[in-house]
Each structure stands twice: as C-alpha cells, then as structure tokens.
Amino acid sequence: MMRNARHAKILEIIAEREIETQEELCEALAADNFSVTQATVSRDIKELHLFKVRGTQRRFRYATIAETEGGISEKMRTLLRDCVETIRVAGNLIVIKTLIGNGGNAGAAIDKLNYREVVGSIAGVDAVLVVCESAAEANTVRSKLEALIKV
C-alpha cells in the first residue's frame, strides 16, 4: 500500500517539476512526508520505468512513457534508436537486444505502441522478447520497429 502511494507521489512530483537526481527525488518525497532511502528511490525508478530526458530548466529530468498520448514520443523513439542493437525474428518470437540496462525501458516503449500483432513481451536487463501469434506477424512487427527506429 505504501509503495503504491509513493509511486503515485513520484509520478506527481516529476509531472509538476524537473527532478534531475535520485537525491532530489528523495528530498521532494521527504517534503511530502515519505521517508525513503536512495536505494528505495532507485528501485522505484526502475519499477516505474522512468528515464531521463532533456529538461527546459535543467540538463536532464526524470520522465515516464505515459507523458505522451497515442504512441511514443520522439524522446522515446530516440531512446529506442540509441539502445537497440539488434532485432531478430525466430518463428513467432522477436528478440530485441539492447545496451545493458535498457531492456526494461525498451520493453515498456514497445508495450506502449500497442501493436495488435503482439501477444505480449518480457524484458530483461539487455533484451526484450516479443511474442506474436505467427511468424508472419513477427516479421510485420520487426518491420514496423525497424522503420520506427531506423535500425
């Protein structure tokens, strides 16, 4: 219960102002009566699939994929373009290799695309496994992803 409330507060905080570091996020949570450690905030950032984007007032800020409606933002497209190393089809499966530490963000972005051909996906530290109904649909999704990020 406390975790859900904390997650909601984190999303509220990063929507209201630019937060650049985990330390700043800890301070903002403390100001709202949430007692957290840096390790807890780090875990929350991972669970919420937050990533950093260029801010207007600061160098970078935390953001969430949900900030954009109907697809993914140009920032998420850039993140995918920068972190995806390979996209391979194996039957009805697509294996997307990413730079280490980017599997979760890539997986969240791919889920946000809501491709009808995708049954589901699983993300790891440096890869995303995308499951489609058929090999033909997997090839269609691979083509869409390649066009999206121009691999």
Measured CA to CA in angstroms, residue 50 lies from 35, 47, 67, 76, 135 at distances of 20, 8, 11, 11, 32
> What's the total number of domains in the chain?
2
Does residue 92 fall inside a structural domain? yes
Question: What is the tens place of the pLDDT at every residue in 14-44?
Answer: 988 889 999 999 999 999 999 999 999 999 9
Residue 68 lies inside a defined structural domain of this protein: no
Final residue of a domain: which of 26, 43, 63? 63
Contact 22, 39 (CB under 8 A): no
pLDDT recorded at residue 151: 46
Q: What is the pLDDT of residue 69?
A: 40
Which of 8-12, 47-51, 56-60 is most confident? Answer: 8-12
pLDDT in tens, 65-117: 655 444 577 777 888 888 999 999 999 999 999 999 999 989 988 888 888 89
pLDDT tens column, 116-138: 899 999 999 999 999 999 999 99
State pTM to two decimals. 0.56
Give the separation between CA 7 and CA 114, rounded to whole angstroms. Answer: 23
Query: Domain residues for 143?
Result: 74-149
Q: Which of 48, 34, 49 is nearest to 2 (CA)?
A: 34
Q: What is the pLDDT of residue 66?
A: 57
The CATH number that applies at residue 59 is 1.10.10.10
What pLDDT was estimated at residue 58?
60
47, 113: one domain: no
Query: What per-residue confidence (pLDDT) applies to 70?
Result: 44
